[in-house]
Chains A and B, each alone.
Chain A
Amino acid sequence: MRKILLALVIVGLVVGVGFAQDKVTIRLAGYSGDTPLMQDVLARFVADKIPGVEVVWEPITEDFLAFVLRTLSAGTAPDVFYVDLGWAKTVAETGLVEPLDDYMANSAVLNKGDLIPALENAFTFDGKIYAISKDFNSLVIFYNKDMFDEMGVAYPSDDDTWATLLGKIAQVNNPGKWYGACINADAARFLPFAFAAGMPFLKDDGTGPFDLASAKLAADWFTSFNRLGISATSAEIGAGWPGAAFISEQAATCIEGGWLIPPIRNENPTLNFGTTFLPSPWENGPRSNYLFTVGYGMPTSPASGRPDLAFKVIEILTSPEVQNYILESGHAIPSRAALLNSAYFQQKDDFAQATKKVFEATALPGTVPFTFGEIGQGVYMGAVGEALTLIMQGEETVEEAMNEAVAKLSK
């Protein structure tokens, strides 16, 4: 009788421990806007694939960098979280984000060299890789074909220069019905044009470059649309962002990345649109663009205590199957080098073509990673963004505003 009891107790303990192990929860935090996609992906590809692991999606609505810094320092960071290239270096410097080199070396499915080299390099600091890029993006001009047809204007093309694009947008502008473009005083849209005109990220002495002739030339052109009244900011149109103004057909063009494609498909699927590269300053001139990418990172000591399982989740989320699924649903361009020849890019519909254009734009010479080095992203972007606002409103000249931006960055 005693033995039976003892056996029962042991079985009970084993089962109990087994149940306890069943309950490993891996928390995955990302932008709240990704919620429908990520919940779909988790349900299709991750649920029940790793025995004993439950992956919980945590959508973050607050400033994501603030969230990551706060939870890392408090020791409550999620097991897996998005790392945006714009602030990747800042979080790597905390020392509390796990370098993933060893995990990749021991992985059967995710090794160095599987990802596009530029994306691997982007997240590598001091020789260690801190995040696995999940997708990437760059900027293109989106244009509404119906509006250009109605106004009898040629579509924007890859051969356009700053001047010819300005001319086309002026012609397609239809007062009272739609604006030629929706352009905000956004540094992330402006800077690629400044780089194309020859502005370096910083001057050689490490100070702000915005008072250089190249920067002023770009600022003058970039703000001319709004100053001429052929473009308005999204706030003036009453849209949340320029993409929304484009989707609701209140603007004929906008400068956005591949992230605009899913909302078009969801909200205005019959929109007849095309995409083209950002124009160069002069004929056969140089171009520039930003390479945006978001990766998955892990804290050095995850709350679950199981970094191995957290990495398994990253392996699945960046697997060819998941990336192809996300590509074909038009959400993002895969970071795996092997997927760049995907059959999807050959399809002729507007969505596949737009995705292809964004992808080609990232490969053009002059495309630079969206990083800010030692200078905080907030300071750099804030200085330029405010200058652009003042020029667009006609409150300051290009000269005054850009000189002021230099002063702000140097202080």
Chain B
Amino acid sequence: MKRRGDWVSAFIFLLPLLFTLAVAFIYAFVRTVYFSFTDYNLFHITKFVGLDNYTQLFADYRFVLALTHSLVYAVVVTASQTFLALLLAIVLNQKIRGLTFFRAAYYVPSVASSVAITLIFIWLMNRRGTVNWLLTALGRYWPLIVIGLALVILVQWLQVFSERRHGLPARAFDPALLGISLLTGVVVTTILGQLGVVHPYPMADAVIPWLTTRKMFLGIPLPLLSVMMLNIWTTTPTMMLLLLAGLQDVPQELYEAADMDGATPGQKLLHVTVPAIRPLLFMVITMGLIGTLQVFDQIAIMAGVAPLESTITLAYYVYWNMFGSGGLPKVGMASAAALVLAALTLVIVFIQRRVGFSEKGWYS
């Protein structure tokens, strides 16, 4: 039986959080629901329009595009980043040299400002940017690269062969021999290039418009695909860190027992590691889905460069209705879209929990 005083002190401690929750969430949510049934534009007395905003939403081709993009984005990015994060976590959970360096280095993309990263990314993907420059270099110099590589392999094989014939224990990738092979390969290729025996391939500059195009790849607009790759690169490390923490808690005895039963590494991953970190996988996937469904900053910065139809997602559609069109804000439409996004997020997380990984752990 609790005393009355306990309730009071508990309530006082909860008050700051309850207050911010009430103001920033409940009040805002109720207002959004209300606005979604009106034609409010931030300034004028509102008129109740019933479900008009919702029917207009689904009639607006931009909303349908945004919805499709958001779903594709969430599924592809969450799946890729979870898989990569698990892979990285397993690698970084091994006892390898320079472990702390790698853990720190892999985490850098997550620490850097996503705005700054997106801007740098836009420069790299420019029509005359670094990515196209690299592609041009590769396209031009592949004959030299191929010949150089072939030479390296040939010289290495000759050296190893000759060492072994003399009864010396040379490994295939002996570092000293490899150094000589590389040097020979580079010098000979350079001389061949200078003498004009091997020509670079005559290719025009690659000016692939990665970000300003309407082209698609597997049904996904290229600019959106670029943002996806960027997002996977920046979020994977955070997820990796979470999974790494989980991996370190997996009891070593389980692996020992599996070893005794003759389990392969693949079986150990699927039947020991994954079930043991199930609650963390649930968290990583759920956070991934929520984060990707609400992606905004990278899309907003990209919007200055890429066509609207090629990058628009639901969260950006909400913003676009408020401030993007140049006219008075369409608060009703924006609110309706925001609620659709919220409902969608709930439904997807629910489905994920039912058919994918749930938070139920190893022991439950």
Listed in ascending order, the chain A residues whose CB lies under 8 Å from chain B are 63, 65-66, 69-70, 72-73, 86-87, 90, 93-96, 232-233, 235-238, 372, 374-382, 386, 389-390, 393, 395-396, 411
The CA of A147 and the CA of B320, in the complex, are separated in Å by 43
| A-B pairs with beta carbons under 8 Å apart, 30 shown | A65-B323, A69-B42, A69-B329, A72-B43, A87-B326, A90-B326, A90-B327, A93-B43, A94-B328, A95-B44, A232-B128, A235-B127, A235-B305, A236-B126, A236-B127, A236-B128, A238-B128, A375-B327, A376-B325, A378-B324, A378-B326, A381-B326, A386-B309, A389-B212, A389-B307, A390-B213, A393-B212, A395-B213, A395-B214, A396-B214
- List B contacts of A396 (CB < 8 A): 214
- List B contacts of A382 (CB < 8 A): 308
In the complex, the chain B residue whose C-beta lies closest to that of A408 is B309
Distance in Å from the Cβ of B231 to the closest Cβ of chain A?
Answer: 22
Q: Tell me whether B209 is interfacial, beta carbon within 8 Å.
A: yes
Distance in Å from the Cβ of A305 to the closest Cβ of chain B?
Answer: 21
Contact between chains at A95 and B43 (CB < 8 Å): yes
Q: Provided the pairs A94-B328, A395-B213 are in contact, do residues A73 and B42 lie with their beta carbons within 8 angstroms? A: yes
The CA of A237 and the CA of B213, in the complex, are separated in Å by 18
The CA of A378 and the CA of B316, in the complex, are separated in Å by 14
Name the residue in B323, B327, B328 with the highest tally of chain A Cβ atoms < 10 Å from its Cβ: B327
In the complex, the chain A residue whose C-beta lies closest to that of B62 is A411
- List A contacts of B328 (CB < 8 A): 69, 90, 93-94
The CA of A377 and the CA of B327, in the complex, are separated in Å by 7
Contact between chains at A94 and B42 (CB < 8 Å): yes
- List B contacts of A236 (CB < 8 A): 126-128, 207
Docked complex: B157-212 residues within 8 A CB-CB of A: 207, 209, 212
Contact with A along B19-47 (1 / 0, CB 8 A): 00000000000000000000000111000
Q: Tell me whether B61 is interfacial, beta carbon within 8 Å.
A: yes
In the complex, the chain B residue whose C-beta lies closest to that of A235 is B126
- List B contacts of A90 (CB < 8 A): 326-328
Distance in Å from the Cβ of A377 to the closest Cβ of chain B?
Answer: 3
- List B contacts of A73 (CB < 8 A): 42-43
The CA of A380 and the CA of B308, in the complex, are separated in Å by 13
Contact between chains at B326 and A379 (CB < 8 Å): yes
Contact between chains at A376 and B43 (CB < 8 Å): no
The CA of A72 and the CA of B44, in the complex, are separated in Å by 12
Contact between chains at A96 and B325 (CB < 8 Å): no
In the complex, the chain A residue whose C-beta lies closest to that of B212 is A389
Q: Tell me whether B360 is interfacial, beta carbon within 8 Å.
A: no
Q: Tell me whether B271 is interfacial, beta carbon within 8 Å.
A: no
Q: Give me the 10 closest cross-chain CB pairs, A-B, nearest first.
A: A376-B326, A377-B326, A376-B327, A378-B326, A376-B325, A66-B323, A73-B42, A94-B43, A236-B128, A386-B307
Contact between chains at A372 and B326 (CB < 8 Å): yes
In the complex, the chain B residue whose C-beta lies closest to that of A393 is B209
Name the residue in A66, A69, A90, A95 with the highest tally of chain B Cβ atoms < 10 Å from its Cβ: A69
Contact with A along B312-354 (1 / 0, CB 8 A): 0000000000111111110000000000000000000000000
The CA of A376 and the CA of B307, in the complex, are separated in Å by 17
The CA of A408 and the CA of B14, in the complex, are separated in Å by 51
Contact between chains at B213 and A393 (CB < 8 Å): yes
Distance in Å from the Cβ of B326 to the closest Cβ of chain A?
Answer: 3
Contact between chains at B325 and A379 (CB < 8 Å): yes
Distance in Å from the Cβ of A129 to the closest Cβ of chain B?
Answer: 20
- List A contacts of B322 (CB < 8 A): 66
- List B contacts of A235 (CB < 8 A): 126-128, 305
Distance in Å from the Cβ of A131 to the closest Cβ of chain B?
Answer: 17
Q: Provided the pairs A63-B323, A236-B127 are in contact, do residues A395 and B215 lie with their beta carbons within 8 angstroms? A: yes
The CA of A93 and the CA of B62, in the complex, are separated in Å by 26
The CA of A365 and the CA of B292, in the complex, are separated in Å by 52
The CA of A73 and the CA of B323, in the complex, are separated in Å by 13
Q: Provided the pairs A389-B307, A393-B212 are in contact, do residues A96 and B43 lie with their beta carbons within 8 angstroms? A: yes
- List B contacts of A376 (CB < 8 A): 325-327
Docked complex: B32-76 residues within 8 A CB-CB of A: 42-44, 60-62
- List A contacts of B42 (CB < 8 A): 69, 72-73, 94
Given A378-B327, A382-B308, 10 additional A-B pairs, CB 8 A: A65-B323, A69-B328, A73-B42, A73-B43, A95-B44, A236-B128, A375-B327, A379-B327, A390-B213, A411-B60
The CA of A374 and the CA of B307, in the complex, are separated in Å by 22
Docked complex: B120-148 residues within 8 A CB-CB of A: 126-128
- List A contacts of B127 (CB < 8 A): 233, 235-236, 393
- List A contacts of B43 (CB < 8 A): 72-73, 93-96
In the complex, the chain A residue whose C-beta lies closest to that of B211 is A235
- List B contacts of A372 (CB < 8 A): 326
Contact between chains at B308 and A411 (CB < 8 Å): no
Name the residue in A72, A236, A375 with the highest tally of chain B Cβ atoms < 10 Å from its Cβ: A236
In the complex, the chain A residue whose C-beta lies closest to that of B213 is A395
Distance in Å from the Cβ of B30 to the closest Cβ of chain A?
Answer: 18
Contact between chains at B326 and A65 (CB < 8 Å): yes
In the complex, the chain B residue whose C-beta lies closest to that of A373 is B327
Q: Provided the pairs A95-B43, A386-B308, A395-B213 are in contact, do residues A69 and B323 lie with their beta carbons within 8 angstroms? A: yes
- List A contacts of B327 (CB < 8 A): 90, 374-376, 378-379
The CA of A390 and the CA of B307, in the complex, are separated in Å by 10
- List B contacts of A379 (CB < 8 A): 325-327
